[in-house]
Structure formats: structure tokens, C-alpha cells
Structure 1
Amino acid sequence: MANLKELRSRITSVSSTMQITSAMKMVSAAKLSRAQDAIDAMRPYAEKLTELLQNLSASLGDEQGSKYSDQRELNNILIVAVSSNRGLAGAFNTNIIKAVKRLAATEYKGKNVEVMGLGKKANDILKKSFEIYKNNNAVYDDLNFEATSAIAEDLMLQFSEKKYDKIVIVYNQFKNAATQIVMTEQFLPIVPDENQEEKNTADYIFEPSKEEIVEELIPKSLKIHLYKALRDSFASEHGARMTAMHKATDNATELRDALKLSYNKARQASITNEILEIVGGAEALNK
């Protein structure tokens, strides 16, 4: 009978867990819909702005280059790791942590590598292996362009003051609810598009001047770049969590059904044993 009590307890526990994971799946699905709409609406603007900036930058001479295009010897590297503040999202955060460690161990081996955490999960793990420049977990409390702009401005300042020679962003790019692609993109210095010369360049009329327009566009483009990465990561997080909770619910359902089957078999065996004992006792009395 103790075995039956244990099985009943496990069935109740698994059923409770299944309800929680199912609810989390529905919440993530609702948030994913809004996050996906936001990134889908933003991508064309961000891509067009980057294309325009590369077109203009390619037409400027080296002597007219921006301070954000300064190519120098790589000694100090900053990796911006974009993760989430919460877990239960499958391999979403683990993939970012692995990508950062792989970059530091291969491409930037022997360099002074620091990390800026945009998200609690990556920061908590990476601070054990790297020097943390800043922790900006609060950016997800209200993800908006103004908050992201402040972070981007700080990164631009650190690069222009030569604290860092290169800044890269590692984040999850949203493809669909089941697929997130780990991206590593160079934030600073700005690198001109190598294929720009092969593309058809438009003939623009500049007012007031090409140089002034570029200087105005570069900070805005960098802010948009970071904001898009955060929006991509935000949508990817909810997609990953929805998928993880869906799998967890399915697994809990299978486990609950298996436990119910075991419980019914044990109960049937217990009842059969009781019947046999009663019959055996009755036969003993008749003799």
C-alpha cells in the first residue's frame, strides 16, 4: 500500500508540473507574438540604414573616416553577451555562453578580453571566467530604444577613448519559434562592406554635406544595430522558452500516463492479492 501512496504522490506532483509548464508555454507564446511583430517591423529599417551608411562610408576617403572606423592593433576586446534574465529556455543562454568562451579561446586568444552582460544568466556564468565591464540586466525591465541608446553611447565612448580596440556582439537571432541562430557581429570599429563596390550605388544629392550626414548617421546606425540585436534576442528567448515548455509538457504528460499505468497495475495486483487471501481464508474455515 505504501507503494500506491508513493505513486499517487508522484502522479499529483507531475500533474502539477505539467500545468505550470503548459501555462508558461501559453504566456511565452503570447509574448512571442508581440516580440516577433516588433523585430519583423524593425529589420527592414535597420538593414536599409546600414546599407545607406555603408554606401556613404565607402565613398569617403581614409582622411575623412569617422572616429568609429579607427582600425588599430587589437589588444583589448569587449564582448557584449546578450542573454536573458530568466532561465527555462532550453539551450538559449548556454549557446551564448559557449560562443563567448569559444571566441576568447580561439579568435582572441592571448588578448585582454572583457565581457559586458546584457542579461543576468550569461553574466552570472561568465563573471567566473572574465572581467565584467558592466552589467545591464535592467535593460529588459522595459526594453525600449532610449535605454538601449544609453548603452550604445557608452560603448561608442569607450571605443573612441581607446579603452577597447574592438567590440563585438554575441546574440541569438530569431528565425522562428523553434530555431535561434547564434550571431557574432562586429559593433566597433565600423567595417565597410567588402562587396559594396560590386553593388549598384545610387547617385545621391547631399545636403548639407556627405561628411556631416555620415557623422550624424553613424551613431544612430550603431544604436539601431544594438537595439535590433536586443529585439532579436528578446524574440528568440520567448521562442526558445515556448518550445522548451512545450517539450516539458509533453514529457510530463508521458510520465504521468506511465505512472498512472503503473499505479493501476499495482492497485490491480493489490486487489487480486486481497481476494486470494479472502478466498484462502474461507477455504481454510470450511475444512
Structure 2
Amino acid sequence: MSNPKEIKKRILSIDSVVKTTEAMKMISIVKLRKSKELLLHIKRYSESIEKLFQHFLLSFHDKLENIQDKKYFFSSGKKKLFIVITSNRGLCGAFNSLIFDKIHRYIQENGYLKKDCIFFSIGKKGFDFLSRKYNMYKEKIPNNFTYKYEDVIILVKELIEDFFSKKFHSIYLIYNHLKNSFFQEIIIEQFLPIIFTDFENKSSKKSSNCSILEPSKEEILDYITPKFLSVKLFKSILESSTSEHTARMMSMHKATESASDIKKNLMLNYNKERQTSITKEILEIISGLEALSETN
């Protein structure tokens, strides 16, 4: 049997845990609402720029084939770069561990050599895990990276330059996609080179509009493609952020429920112990009175 005082201390500590998890749950709800709103806007913008990009490719596909090396559509080299989007903090359930498991299975299933896989983590948890097992694109996470669209544009510009310099054969995005409040899916999609057939399959027929472009198709391609890729990466970051806040909200909700159940059990034990001690004291008083009456 535990001491009632010790049980009381544990109850007080559980109370503080419940208050903490409940507060973290409310914070996650507020952040989730903001993240969903921002994601909705970027999805609309992404759909518009993707349609514009698709129209450009389908309208001038035959002429684009004459561009040297097809630039964004042709790959060379051996190494593959994986951009992994994780969280900066923990307490979000299996949010990060599911990504790490997916990476391990994906490399094994495709037979990639460890030396040919380079990783870049957007998120401290991913960097801490991946830097111990794989080669990293950067030695540390840039301190000035604030997950804003302006930072994404700078990062995409660096990635495109490294891709053109043939440092990487291909670049992939790995992130959590929220299907619903109870289910998240790990997405692995190719970032570079751009797969033209993906756009071709989305359209039933090629565009027949004979648009006049100035100054040239090459310059327009160099202008619109980085924007398309920046929006794609930024949307993936927001998808991951929405999934993270949802996972943390659910984790804190479950933690609050578990702590409440522990508190109930502790209260029952506390009441039992208190009742036992009261009964024991009453018996001692009765036995003392009986002893006094016998001596008299």
C-alpha cells in the first residue's frame, strides 16, 4: 500500500501534466487553423500556376525539345537528393518516425546505394536523425530559413543551380500529407527533373492556341519554371505543417485523456488508503477504550 501523502503528490503532478497537455493541444488547434487557411490559398495559387505551366509545355512541346539538354526535363549524374520535410519539435506522435521508416524502405526497395543518396532536411528532427546515417546536402540547417515563401525561392534557386551543374541526377520531396484528421500519408514525389508526361496525361489533347511569346521561349521557361517549383515546395511545406499540427493536437488529446485516467485511478487509491487509515484509527480508539474499561 502506498502512503496517502505520496499519492497526493502524484495527483498534483498529474494535474500539472493535464494542464500542460491541454494548453499544448489548444495551441496546436490555433496553429492548425492558420496553417489550413494558408494552405487553402496556396493550393488555389498552385492550381493556377500549374495550369499556366501546363499550357506553356503543351503548346510549345515540339519547340522545347530543341532547347539544349531540355534543361529542367533532362537528368544526368548519379546522386539523388532527397528533401525531407520534418518538424522542429517532438511531441507529435509518429509524425517523424513514419517518414524515417518510409525513407529506409524506399531506398531498400529501389536498390539505391547509400553513397548515392544525399539528404536535405527542412526541420531539426529530420536533420538530427539523417545526419547520423546519411550524407547531407548541407552541414547544418540554415539559421536564416524561416519557412516563408521568400526563403523557399532562395532554396529552389540553389537547387536548380546544383541540378544544372550535374551534382544530382534527380531531386525528390518527402513529406507528410494529411488525408483526414486520423490518417496521414507519406508522399515521395519527383521535384527535378520535371516529368513532361505528368502534364500530358492531365490534358486530353494538346493546346492549339498559337500564342506569341516575348522575348523568347527559353527566357519564359527560365522565368516560370522556378516559380512553379517554388510554389510546389512551399505547398509541400504547408502540407507537412498542417499534418504536424494535427498530429500534435491528437497526441496531446490522447495524453490528456491518459493523464485523466491515471488521475482517476490515483484518486481511487487515495480514497481507499484514506479510508483504510481512518478505519485503522477508529479500531485503535475502540481497542483503547475497551482496554480502559477492562482495567476499571
* TM-score, with structure 1 as normaliser: 0.91
Measure the CA separation in 2 of the matches of 1:203 and 1:273.
94
Answer yes or no: is 1:89 the counterpart of 2:96.
no
Give 1:186 deviation, angstroms. 0.5
1:207 alignment partner, one of 202, 208, 213: 213
Aligned to 2:125: 121
Is contact 1:49-1:221 (8 Å) kept?
Answer: yes
Q: Residues 150-184 of structure 1: CA distance to partner in whole angstroms, max 9, x if unpaired?
A: 11111111111111101101011233444332111
Q: Deviations over 1:88-108 (max 9, x none)?
A: 111111112112222222225
Structure 2: give runs of 5+ residues left out of the alignment: none
Deviation at 1:237, TM superposition (A): 1.3
Structure 1 residues 170, 96: closer, same or farther in 2, change over 3 A? same
* 1:11-34 Cα distance to aligned partner (Å, 9 max, x none): 111110110000011111111111
Q: For 2:107, which of 104, 116, 123 is the aligned residue? A: 104
1:154-193, aligned counterparts within 5 Å?
154-193=158-197
- Bigger drift between 129-138 and 83-92 goes to 129-138
Q: What's 1:10 paired with?
A: 10
The amino acid of 2:86's aligned partner reads S
Query: Structure 1 pair 52/193, CA: closer, same or farther in 2 (3 Å)?
Result: farther
Distance 2:225 2:129 in 1: 33
Query: Letter of the aligned partner of 1:97 in structure 2?
Result: F
Q: Deviation digits for residues 102-149 of structure 1, max 9, x if unmatched?
A: 222222522611110110001101111101112436466x32111111
Deviations 1:174-225 (A, max 9, x none): 3344433211111111111347255244443232254443332111111111
Structure 1's unaligned 5+ residue stretches are none
Asked whether the equivalents of residues 167 and 186 of structure 1 are also in contact (C-alpha less than 8 Å), the reply is yes
Asked whether 1:31 is paired with 2:31, we answer yes
Larger radius of gyration: 2
Q: Write out per-residue CA displacement over residues 18-76 of structure 1, whole angstroms, 9 at most, x where no aligned residue.
A: 10000011111111111100001111221332243234324423323631211336x20
- Once the two structures are superposed, the pairs formed by residues 21-100 of structure 1 within 5 Å of their partners are 21-58=21-58, 59-61=60-62, 62-64=65-67, 66-72=70-76, 75-100=78-103
Alignment check: 8 A CA contact 2:76 2:168 kept: no
Counterpart-to-counterpart distance in 1, 2:167 and 2:223: 23
Rounded to whole Å, the distance in 2 between the matches of 1:88 and 1:128 is 21
- In 2, Cα distance between equivalents of 1:201 and 1:44: 23
Secondary structure at 1:136 match in 2? coil
Contact 1:4 1:263 in 2 (8 A): yes
Q: Secondary structure in 2 aligned to 1:254?
A: helix
What SS does the corresponding residue of 2:56 show, helix, strand or coil? Answer: helix
> Are 1:90 and 1:241, in contact at CA under 8 Å, matched by a contact in 2?
yes
**Whole-angstrom distance in 2 between the partners of 1:247 and 1:139:** 35
Match of 1:275 in 2: 282
**Letter of the structure 1 residue corresponding to residue 141 of structure 2:** N
Corresponding letter in the other structure for 2:74: D
Q: Counterparts of 1:228-267 in structure 2 under 5 Å?
A: 228-267=235-274
Inter-partner Cα distance in structure 2 for 1:37 and 1:139? 25
**TM-score, reference length from structure 2:** 0.89
| Distance in 1 separating the partners of 2:89 and 2:109 | 29
Cα distance in 1 for partners of 2:96, 2:279 equals: 52
In structure 2, the residue matched to 1:216 is 223
Partner amino acid, structure 2, of 1:247: K
The one-letter code of the counterpart of 2:169 is D
Matched residues in 1 for 2:253 and 2:207: separation? 48
Distance of aligned partners of 1:137 and 1:32 in 2 relative to their CA distance in 1, 3 Å threshold: farther
What pairs with 1:141-160 in structure 2 (closer than 5 Å)?
A: 142-160=146-164
Query: Which segment is superposed worse, 248-257 or 174-183?
Result: 174-183
Q: 1:230 to 1:137 in 2, by over 3 A?
A: farther
In angstroms, what is the RMSD of aligned CA positions? Answer: 2.1
User: What count of residue pairs does the alignment treat as equivalent?
Assistant: 285
Deviations 1:216-273 (A, max 9, x none): 2111111111111111111211111111111111111111111111111111111111
